[in-house]
C-alpha cells in the first residue's frame, strides 16, 4: 500500500517542479503534472478498494508524534472515497484546461495542483490548526486561479472571495485558539472527547469554527460571493471550486460538526434547507447558464449540510454505512460528474468572446444526448446515482419528519423545472445552429455516472430493485443506436424491441398489471406501424417513442415500491423529452414537466411515507399497510399526472405542441399510467376507503368534474389537437371516477373504459395526424369537406366518435352502461348526473370535430389532398376491426376483465348467454348489434330503391337564400361553432385554473427575484452578510444550546 501522504507530497512537489521545468522541457512537465494527478487517483482508488474489501482505517502521523504534540491525518474509506473524487475531478478538469494552459503560460497549472493538494490536506487532516493552514492554502490558490483568468470580473470575484474567506479564516482561527486554550489540544478527535467542550466557552469556540466552515460552504444568505466567483471564473475553474474544493470543505464540516451539541443540529438542517430552497428559487430567475449552475452548486451544498446534520440527528454517530454511501456518495458523485460535466460543457462551447449559447450544445445529436443525460442526472432521474440517493434520502426522512420532505421536494421541484427549461433551450439548437463538436469530456462524465449507478445495482445495494425495470432504458438506447438505419428497418427493429420487452416483462407481471403491460406494448407496436409512412426527420423521435411505450408498459410489471417509482420517473422524463421535441413545444413541455414532476414528488413523498411506515418493500404490502396520508399523497400524485380539473392546464398544450406523430403515444398510452397507478393503490390499499374523511368520494367528484369540464373545454377549441387533448382529459375523468367507486361494476367499467380509450384515442390521433399531415394545418376551421378526399379517414373518425360518445351499438355504450350502473349501485346519483351531463356535452365537441374537418365546404387549397397513407390506414383499420369485434362480442373482452376484478371485489354482474346482467339492468351487446344492423338495413334498402333518380351534386349546389355562395371559407360554419353555448354556460368555462397557476408562477418568480437580490455583487455587502449570518446563527444556537 502506498502511503497516502505521498499523494499530497507528490502533488505539492510536482507543482513546484512543474513551474521550474516548464520552460525547459514542456512534455516532461506536462507528463509530470498529469502523472501526479493519475498517481493520486490510482492511490486513492487502491485504498478505496482496500477499505471496501474490509480494510481498517488508519491514522497517519507525518511528524511521527501522536497528538497533541504532532499532527494526525485520518485515512479511511470516506477519506479515500472523497480523495478519489477530488483527483478524478482534478484530472478531468485539468484535461479540460489543457488547451488554455498550453496556449497562455501562467501559474494556472501550479495553482491548480496546489488547490488539489490543499483539498487533499483538508480531507485528511484531523488537526484544527492544520485544517486552518490548508484552508488558507486552498483559498489563496483558488483566488490565484481566479486571477489567472486575466479578466476583470475574475479578479474582482477573487477579491470578494478573499474578503469573505479571510473573514471566515479569522473566525476559524479565533475558535481554534480558544479551543486549544480550553482543551489543550488541536486534534479534533481529542477535542471531541474533552469534557471542557461542554461549557459556554467551548460552545462559543466550536461555534466560531463551524460558522466559518458554513460560510465557506456557501450557506444562504452568506453565499453571494460564491455565486459571483462561480459565475465569473473560467468554467473549469468554477467546476473545480464548486466540486473539488467544496466537497473537501464539506468533508471538513463533516469532521467537525460533532463539536456542537446534537440538539443544535436542527439549526444546521434548517440552514441547509433554506440554502437549498432559496438557491433553486433564485435560480429560476437566471438567464445565465453558468450562474444558474452556481446557484445549483450552492443549493447542493445546502442539501449536503441538511443530509449530514439530519442523518446524524437521527442515527447519532452510528449512521448505517449503506445509507450514508448511497445518499452522500450518490449526491457527491452526481455533484462532481454532472455539475462538473455541465461546467465543462460551458467551457467547451464558450466562444472567443467568452459568450456561452446553450443552443450550441444541442447542435449535434451526441451533444444533445450528453446534455440531456447530464441534466437528467442532476435532476435526480433514473438510472443516475442521484436518483437512488433521492429515493433513499426521502424514504429515510419520511420516517421521521414529513415537513422536511416537503421542503426538500419543493426545492427539488424548483431545481428540476429550472434544469428542464435549460434543456429545452439546449435542444432547440439542432434546428438552427451551426454544428459544434460534442463535449467528449462531459460525455465521459455522464458515462461514468451511469456506470456507477448500474454498478451499484449489480452490487446488490438495492435488493428491492429488479434490473428488468431498466429494460425501457436499454430499449431506448438500442433504438437510439439504430437511428442511422433506413426508416422502415428502424421501425421494424423498434417493434421487435417492444416484442422482446414484452417477452421479458409480461411473464413476470401478474393480474391487472400483466394485462396492462401486454396491452400497452401491443398498442404501442400497432401505432408504430404508422411511422412507416415517411422517413423520420427527427432522429430522437423513434427512440423516445420506444422509450415512452416501454416506460409506460413497465409500470404494470413492477413489484416493489422502488421499482414503481423508478419506472414512474423514467416515464415522466422520457415522455417530457418526447414532447419537447415538438416544433414550438418548449413552453408546453416545461409545463408538462412541471406538473408531472410536482405529481411525481407527491407520489414520492407518499411512497416514501408508506414504505417507511410499513417497513415493507413489496408494492402490494406497502399499499396494504399504508397510512391514509400516504394514500392521499400517492393518489394526488396520480391525479396530477392524469391532469384532472385544476391541474389540467398542461394537457392541451402538451398534446397540441408535441409532434403529430408523438401525440398518440402520449394521449393514448402515457395517460394510462396514472390509471394503472390508481388501480394498484386501490387494489392493494385495504384502508384506502376509510380515511379520516371520504377521500374516495372526493376523487370521485374530481373525476366527474374533470369529465365535465374536459368535455366543455373541448367544445370551445379551434385546434383539433387541443380538442382531442381536452377530450382525453374528460375520458380520464370518467375512468378516475369509476375507479374511485371501488366496486366491482365500477372497476370493470374502469378497465373497459381505459382499454377503449387506448383504442379510440389512438385511432383518433393517428387519423387526425394523417389529416394534419395532408392539410398542413391543425386549425379545424381551415379544413372542411374532406370526406370526399379522405373517406377512409372519415369512417375511422366516425367510428371513434360513435365509440367515444357511447352511442350503441359500438362498445362505448357498454362502458357508459356499466359506469352509470356502477354509480347508481353505489348511490352516487349526483355524480351519475354530472357524468351524464358530461357525456352529453361530449357530443358537442365530437360533432364539431367530424363536421368542421370532414363535412361542410371543401377549401380550394385542399382540393388535391390525398387519403392518408397505407401505413396509417392499416393500423387504423386494425383498430376499427377490434372495435367492431368488441361491439359484436363484448363477452370476449369483458370476461377476462371480470375475472381480474373478481380477485378484488365480489362479483355483482354475471352473464346469461350473451346477456350481461347487473343488479339494475341488462345489456346484450350482441343483440344490440344485430338489431341496429336490422333497423339500419331496413330504411337503407327502402332508399336504395330510389337511388337511380338521385343526382349527386357538388358542394356549392346548396340553397343559399337564392344566392350563390361567395367562397367556401365564408360558407363553412366552423369557427366559434358553439358561440351560443358559450353565451349560455360558457361563464363556467372561464380559464380559472390557468389564471390560478399563472398567479402561482408569477409569485414564485417574484419571490425568486427577491431572493436573488441578496447577492448584490458588492464585496462589502457580502462581508456584512457574513457577519449578520454568523450573529443570527449564534443567537439561534444559543437559544437551543442553553
Looking at residues 782 to 801 of the shown chain, list those that interact with another protein (rule: CB under 8 A): 785, 787-788, 791, 794, 798, 801
Q: If binding is defined by CB under 8 A, does position 958 make contact with another protein?
A: yes
- Among 824, 874, 884, 993, contact with another protein (rule: CB under 8 A): 824
Q: Is residue 166 packed enough to be buried (19+ CB in 10 Å), middle (13-18) or exposed (0-12)?
A: middle
Per CB under 8 A, the segment of 121-129, 451-459, 583-591, 839-847 that binds another protein is 839-847
The H or E element spanning position 228 is helix 224-232
- The whole-angstrom separation of Cα 92 and Cα 82 is 15
Residues numbered 920 to 949 that lie near another protein (CB under 8 A) are 920-924, 927-928, 931-932, 935-936, 938-940, 942-943, 946, 949
- The whole-angstrom separation of Cα 448 and Cα 609 is 32
Residue recorded with cell 370526399: 788
Q: If binding is defined by CB under 8 A, does position 723 make contact with another protein?
A: no
Axis crossing angle, helix 246-256 with helix 108-124, rounded to the nearest 10: 20
Judged by CB, which is closer to another protein: 87, or 794? 794
- Smallest gap from residue 314 Cβ to another protein (A): 52
- Among 23, 954, 990, 1042, contact with another protein (rule: CB under 8 A): 954
Contact call for residues 592 and 654 (beta carbons, < 8 A): yes
Contact call for residues 107 and 148 (beta carbons, < 8 A): yes
Residues numbered 729 to 788 that lie near another protein (CB under 8 A) are 785, 787-788
- The whole-angstrom separation of Cα 37 and Cα 21 is 17
Contact call for residues 748 and 894 (beta carbons, < 8 A): yes
Residues numbered 644 to 703 that lie near another protein (CB under 8 A) are none
Omega of the bond prior to 274 within 30 degrees of 0, cis? no
Residues numbered 545 to 604 that lie near another protein (CB under 8 A) are none
Residues numbered 451 to 470 that lie near another protein (CB under 8 A) are none
- Smallest gap from residue 750 Cβ to another protein (A): 17
Residue recorded with cell 449489480: 458
Long-range CB contacts (< 8 A, 24+ apart) of 980-988? Answer: 981/715, 981/844, 982/716, 985/712, 986/716, 988/712
Judged by CB, which is closer to another protein: 362, or 856? 856
Q: If binding is defined by CB under 8 A, does position 864 make contact with another protein?
A: no
Contact call for residues 120 and 60 (beta carbons, < 8 A): no
Residue recorded with cell 454517530: 317
- Smallest gap from residue 851 Cβ to another protein (A): 4
Classify the C-alpha dihedral 85-466-412-583 as positive or negative.
Answer: positive
- Among 689, 847, 1014, 1034, contact with another protein (rule: CB under 8 A): 847
Judged by CB, which is closer to another protein: 519, or 783? 783
- Among 460, 951, 990, 1042, contact with another protein (rule: CB under 8 A): 951
Judged by CB, which is closer to another protein: 722, or 816? 816
Per CB under 8 A, the segment of 67-75, 347-355, 727-735, 817-825 that binds another protein is 817-825
Judged by CB, which is closer to another protein: 112, or 726? 726
β-strand partners of 922:
917
- What does residue 860 show for φ and ψ, rounded to 5 degrees? -60, -35
- Among 832, 879, 886, 897, contact with another protein (rule: CB under 8 A): 832
- Smallest gap from residue 864 Cβ to another protein (A): 11
- The whole-angstrom separation of Cα 732 and Cα 457 is 36
Q: If binding is defined by CB under 8 A, does position 1 make contact with another protein?
A: no
Judged by CB, which is closer to another protein: 93, or 856? 856
* Backbone φ/ψ region at 20: left (φ over 0), alpha (ψ -120 to 50), beta: alpha
Q: If binding is defined by CB under 8 A, does position 503 make contact with another protein?
A: no
Judged by CB, which is closer to another protein: 336, or 893? 893
Q: If binding is defined by CB under 8 A, does position 911 make contact with another protein?
A: no
- Among 1, 56, 193, 962, contact with another protein (rule: CB under 8 A): 962
- The whole-angstrom separation of Cα 443 and Cα 464 is 30
The H or E element spanning position 60 is strand 58-60
- Smallest gap from residue 826 Cβ to another protein (A): 11
Contact mark string toward another protein, 171..200, x via CB under 8 A: ------------------------------
Per CB under 8 A, the segment of 405-413, 682-690, 744-752, 822-830 that binds another protein is 822-830
Judged by CB, which is closer to another protein: 352, or 864? 864
Classify the C-alpha dihedral 997-1003-1004-1009 as positive or negative.
Answer: positive
Judged by CB, which is closer to another protein: 941, or 1042? 941
Q: If binding is defined by CB under 8 A, does position 49 make contact with another protein?
A: no
Q: If binding is defined by CB under 8 A, does position 908 make contact with another protein?
A: no
Contact call for residues 572 and 638 (beta carbons, < 8 A): no
- Smallest gap from residue 527 Cβ to another protein (A): 27
Judged by CB, which is closer to another protein: 1, or 959? 959
Q: How far apart are the first and last CA of the chain?
A: 47
- Among 288, 584, 957, 1040, contact with another protein (rule: CB under 8 A): 957
Cell of residue 617, nine digits: 418493500
Q: Where are the beta strands (DSSP E) in 479-575?
A: none
- Among 615, 833, 885, 991, contact with another protein (rule: CB under 8 A): 833
- Among 360, 816, 872, 1012, contact with another protein (rule: CB under 8 A): 816
Q: Which of 898, 893, 897 is nearest to 926 (CA)?
A: 893
β-strand partners of 59:
74
Judged by CB, which is closer to another protein: 502, or 784? 784
- Among 568, 623, 650, 820, contact with another protein (rule: CB under 8 A): 820
- The whole-angstrom separation of Cα 747 and Cα 815 is 11
- Count how many residues are written for the chain: 1042
* Backbone φ/ψ region at 66: left (φ over 0), alpha (ψ -120 to 50), beta: beta
- Smallest gap from residue 703 Cβ to another protein (A): 17
Cell of residue 940, nine digits: 337503407
Q: If binding is defined by CB under 8 A, does position 871 make contact with another protein?
A: no
Judged by CB, which is closer to another protein: 466, or 731? 731
- Among 6, 321, 481, 863, contact with another protein (rule: CB under 8 A): 863
Judged by CB, which is closer to another protein: 321, or 943? 943
- Among 159, 180, 836, 905, contact with another protein (rule: CB under 8 A): 836
Q: If binding is defined by CB under 8 A, does position 713 make contact with another protein?
A: no
Measured from the Cβ of residue 1020, the count of other Cβ atoms closer than 10 Å reads 10
Residues numbered 963 to 1022 that lie near another protein (CB under 8 A) are 963-965, 968, 971-974, 977-978, 980-981, 983-985
**Size of interface with another protein, in residues (CB under 8 A):** 88
- Smallest gap from residue 784 Cβ to another protein (A): 9
Q: If binding is defined by CB under 8 A, does position 861 make contact with another protein?
A: no
CB within 8 A of 669, min separation 6: which ones?
Answer: 520, 523, 524, 548, 549, 552, 758, 762
Judged by CB, which is closer to another protein: 827, or 906? 827
Measured from the Cβ of residue 902, the count of other Cβ atoms closer than 10 Å reads 13
Q: If binding is defined by CB under 8 A, does position 817 make contact with another protein?
A: yes
- What does residue 915 show for φ and ψ, rounded to 5 degrees? -100, 125
Residue recorded with cell 393480474: 511
Judged by CB, which is closer to another protein: 170, or 938? 938
Q: Which of 960, 1020, 72, 879 is nearest to 524 (CA)?
A: 879
Judged by CB, which is closer to another protein: 847, or 1036? 847
Q: Which of 210, 127, 223 is nearest to 174 (CA)?
A: 210
Per CB under 8 A, the segment of 85-93, 186-194, 385-393, 807-815 that binds another protein is 807-815
Axis crossing angle, helix 340-349 with helix 365-378, rounded to the nearest 10: 150
Amino acid at each position: 500500500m502506498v502511503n497516502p501522504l505521498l499523494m499530497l507530497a507528490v502533488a505539492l512537489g510536482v507543482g513546484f517542479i512543474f513551474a521550474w521545468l516548464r520552460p525547459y522541457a514542456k512534455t516532461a512537465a506536462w507528463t509530470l503534472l498529469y502523472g501526479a494527478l493519475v498517481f493520486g487517483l490510482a492511490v486513492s482508488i487502491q485504498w478505496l478498494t482496500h477499505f471496501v474489501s474490509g480494510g481498517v482505517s488508519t491514522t497517519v502521523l507525518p511528524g511521527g508524534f501522536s497528538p497533541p504534540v504532532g499532527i494526525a491525518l485520518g485515512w479511511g474509506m470516506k477519506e479515500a472515497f472523497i480523495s478519489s473524487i477530488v483527483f478524478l475531478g482534478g484530472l478531468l478538469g485539468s484535461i479540460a484546461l489543457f488547451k488554455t494552459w498550453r496556449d497562455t503560460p501562467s501559474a494556472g497549472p501550479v495553482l491548480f495542483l496546489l488547490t488539489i493538494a490543499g483539498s487533499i490536506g483538508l480531507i485528511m487532516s484531523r488537526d484544527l490548526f492544520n485544517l486552518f493552514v490548508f484552508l488558507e492554502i486552498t483559498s489563496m490558490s483558488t483566488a490565484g486561479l481566479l486571477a489567472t483568468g486575466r479578466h476583470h470580473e475574475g479578479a474582482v470575484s477573487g477579491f470578494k472571495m478573499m474578503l469573505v474567506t479571510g473573514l471566515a479564516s479569522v473566525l476559524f482561527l479565533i475558535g481554534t485558539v480558544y479551543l486549544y486554550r480550553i482543551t489543550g489540544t488541536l486534534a479534533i478527535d481529542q477535542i471531541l472527547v474533552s469534557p471542557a467542550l461542554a461549557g459556554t466557552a467551548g460552545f462559543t469556540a466550536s461555534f466560531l469554527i463551524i460558522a466559518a466552515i458554513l460560510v465557506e460552504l456557501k450557506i444562504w444568505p452568506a453565499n453571494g460571493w460564491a455565486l459571483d466567483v462561480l459565475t465569473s471564473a473560467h468554467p473549469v475553474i468554477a467546476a473545480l471550486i464548486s466540486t473539488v474544493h467544496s466537497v473537501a470543505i464539506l468533508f471538513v464540516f463533516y469532521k467537525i460538526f460533532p463539536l456542537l451539541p446534537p440538539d443544535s443540529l436542527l439549526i444546521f438542517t434548517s440552514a441547509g434547507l433554506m440554502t437549498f430552497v432559496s438557491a433553486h428559487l433564485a435560480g429560476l430567475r437566471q438567464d445565465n447558464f453558468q450562474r444558474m449552475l452556481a446557484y445549483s452548486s450552492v443549493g447542493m451544498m445546502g442539501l449536503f449540510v441538511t443530509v449530514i446534520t439530519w442523518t446524524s440527528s437521527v442515527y447519532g454517530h452510528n449512521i448505517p454505512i449503506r445509507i450514508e454511501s448511497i445518499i452522500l456518495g450518490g449526491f457527491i458523485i452526481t455533484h462532481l460528474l454532472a455539475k462538473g460535466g455541465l461546467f465543462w460543457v460551458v467551457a467547451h462551447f464558450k466562444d472567443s468572446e467568452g459568450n456561452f449559447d446553450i443552443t450550441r450544445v444541442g447542435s449535434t445529436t451526441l451533444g444533445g444526448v450528453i446534455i440531456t443525460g447530464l441534466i437528467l442526472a442532476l435532476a435526480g432521474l433514473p438510472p443516475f446515482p442521484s436518483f437512488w440517493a433521492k429515493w433513499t434520502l426521502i424514504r429515510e426522512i419520511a420516517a421521521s419528519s414529513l415537513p422536511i420532505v416537503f421542503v426538500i421536494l419543493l426545492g427539488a421541484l424548483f431545481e428540476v423545472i429550472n434544469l428542464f427549461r435549460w434543456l429545452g433551450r439546449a435542444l432547440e439548437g439542432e434546428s438552427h445552429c451551426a454544428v459544434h463538436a460534442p463535449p467528449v469530456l462531459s460525455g465521459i462524465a455522464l458515462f461514468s455516472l451511469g456506470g456507477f449507478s448500474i454498478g451499484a445495482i449489480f452490487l446488490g445495494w438495492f435488493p428491492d430493485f429488479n434490473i428488468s425495470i431498466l429494460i425501457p432504458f436499454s430499449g431506448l438506447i438500442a433504438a437510439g443506436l439504430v437511428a442511422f438505419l433506413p426508416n422502415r428497418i428502424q421501425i421494424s427493429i423498434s417493434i421487435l424491441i417492444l416484442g422482446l420487452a414484452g417477452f421479458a416483462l409480461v411473464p413476470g407481471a401478474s393480474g391487472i398489471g400483466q394485462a396492462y403491460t401486454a396491452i400497452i406494448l401491443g398498442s404501442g407496436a400497432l401505432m408504430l406501424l404508422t411511422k412507416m409512412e415517411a422517413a423520420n426527420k427527427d432522429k430522437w423521435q423513434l427512440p423516445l417513442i420506444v422509450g415512452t411505450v416501454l416506460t409506460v408498459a413497465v409500470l404494470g410489471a413492477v413489484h416493489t415500491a422502488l421499482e414503481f417509482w423508478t419506472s414512474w420517473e423514467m416515464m415522466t422524463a422520457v415522455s417530457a423529452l418526447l414532447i419537447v421535441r415538438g416544433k414550438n413545444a418548449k413552453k408546453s413541455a416545461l409545463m408538462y414537466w412541471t406538473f408531472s414532476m410536482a405529481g411525481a414528488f407527491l407520489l414520492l413523498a407518499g411512497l416514501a411515507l408508506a414504505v417507511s411506515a410499513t417497513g415493507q418493500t413489496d408494492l402490494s404490502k406497502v399499499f396494504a399497510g399504508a397510512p391514509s396520508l400516504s394514500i392521499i399523497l400517492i393518489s394526488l400524485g396520480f391525479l396530477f399526472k392524469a391532469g384532472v380539473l385544476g391541474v389540467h392546464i398542461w394537457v392541451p398544450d402538451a398534446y397540441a405542441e408535441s409532434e403529430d406523430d408523438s401525440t398518440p403515444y402520449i394521449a393514448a398510452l402515457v395517460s394510462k399510467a396514472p390509471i394503472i397507478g390508481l388501480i394498484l393503490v386501490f387494489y392493494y390499499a385495504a384502508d384506502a376507503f376509510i380515511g379520516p374523511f371520504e377521500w374516495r368520494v372526493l376523487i370521485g367528484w374530481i373525476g366527474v368534474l374533470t369529465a365535465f369540464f374536459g368535455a366543455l373545454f373541448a367544445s370551445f377549441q379551434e385546434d383539433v389537437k387541443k380538442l382531442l387533448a381536452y377530450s382525453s382529459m374528460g375520458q380520464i375523468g370518467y375512468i378516475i371516477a369509476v375507479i374511485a367507486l371501488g366496486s366491482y361494476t365500477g372497476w370493470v367499467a374502469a378497465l373497459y373504459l381505459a382499454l377503449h380509450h387506448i383504442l379510440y384515442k389512438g385511432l383518433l390521433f393517428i387519423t387526425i395526424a394523417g389529416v394534419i399531415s395532408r392539410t398542413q394545418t391543425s386549425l379545424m376551421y381551415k379544413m372542411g369537406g374532406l370526406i370526399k378526399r379522405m373517406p377512409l379517414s372519415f369512417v375511422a373518425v366516425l367510428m371513434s366518435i360513435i365509440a367515444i360518445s357511447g352511442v350503441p351499438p359500438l362498445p362505448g355504450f357498454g362502458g357508459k352502461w356499466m359506469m352509470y350502473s356502477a354509480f347508481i349501485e353505489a348511490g352516487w346519483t349526483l355524480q351519475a348526473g354530472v357524468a351524464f351531463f358530461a357525456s352529453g356535452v361530449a357530443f358537442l365537441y365530437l360533432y364539431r370535430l367530424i363536421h368542421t374537418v370532414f363535412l361542410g365546404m371543401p377549401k380550394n387549397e385542399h382540393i388535391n389532398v390525398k387519403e392518408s397513407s397505407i401505413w396509417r390506414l392499416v393500423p387504423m383499420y386494425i383498430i376499427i376491426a377490434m372495435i367492431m369485434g368488441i361491439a359484436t362480442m363484448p363477452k370476449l373482452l369483458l370476461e377476462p376483465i371480470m375475472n381480474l376484478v373478481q380477485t378484488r371485489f365480489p362479483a355483482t354482474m354475471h352473464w346469461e348467454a350473451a346477456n350481461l346482467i347487473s343488479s339494475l339492468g341488462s345489456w346484450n351487446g350482441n343483440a344490440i348489434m344485430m338489431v341496429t344492423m336490422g333497423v339500419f338495413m331496413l330504411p337503407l334498402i327502402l332508399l336504395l330503391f330510389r337511388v337511380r333518380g338521385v343526382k349527386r351534386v357538388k358542394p356549392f349546389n346548396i340553397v343559399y337564400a337564392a344566392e350563390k355562395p361567395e367562397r367556401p371559407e365564408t360558407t363553412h360554419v366552423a369557427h366559434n361553432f358553439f358561440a351560443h353555448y358559450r353565451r349560455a354556460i360558457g361563464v363556467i368555462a372561464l380559464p380559472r385554473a390557468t389564471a390560478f397557476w399563472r398567479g402561482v408562477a408569477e409569485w414564485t418568480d417574484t419571490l425568486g427575484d427577491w431572493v436573488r437580490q441578496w447577492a448584490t455583487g458588492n464585496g462589502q455587502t457580502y462581508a456584512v452578510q457574513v457577519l449578520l449570518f454568523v450573529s443570527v446563527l449564534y443567537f439561534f444556537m444559543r437559544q437551543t444550546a442553553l
